[in-house]
Structure 1
């Protein structure tokens, strides 16, 4: 969780470190043109899990998840 500690609030729907370790190897490491990604896949998955669990819409997603 070292890279996502800047998020001020954790949610019950957030992935555990163990869950992330299982799927992290499946995620591409670089973005287009071999640039580092601007958005971390773990945060995207956390946002989707939050939406599924809470039933809210994309526009109601808490700002803690970013843009």
Structure 2
């Protein structure tokens, strides 16, 4: 497990929020946790997709999962659900800031 990889506790919270695969047949070669850790590595470090370490799976598979979930709104649903869970636990403080300045042209 790399320094920035998901812990078992984090994975236990995230896993139920992931979409279920509907396809029957061969099991996937690369575990979702491994691919998600690859996505997190890329986002955290800013390296090109082709430079994602092989321990996370082939870069093309990591990128494919990222883009597919980006296009179908999976990432947005996950972040919304994680925020609602954290808010229910009281882990988020929602501050409202109103700026009263006026800008005239």
TM-score, length-normalised on structure 1?
0.69
The answer on whether the counterparts of 2:38 and 2:57 sit within 8 Å (CA) in structure 1 is no
In the superposition, relative to structure 1, how do residues 53 and 46 fare at CA in structure 2: closer, same or farther (>3 Å)? same
The alignment yields a C-alpha RMSD, in angstroms, of 1.8
The runs of at least 4 consecutive aligned structure 1 residues that moved more than 3 Å come to none
Q: Which has the higher contact order (CA 8 A, sep 6+)?
A: 1
TM-score, length-normalised on structure 2?
0.47
Question: How many Å separate the matches in 1 of 2:43 and 2:12?
Answer: 21
In the superposition, relative to structure 1, how do residues 12 and 49 fare at CA in structure 2: closer, same or farther (>3 Å)? same
Question: What stretches of structure 2 of length at least 5 have no aligned partner?
Answer: 59-105
Question: How many Å separate the matches in 2 of 1:26 and 1:39?
Answer: 19
Q: Report the counterpart of residue 55 of structure 1 in structure 2.
A: 46
Number of matched residues? 57
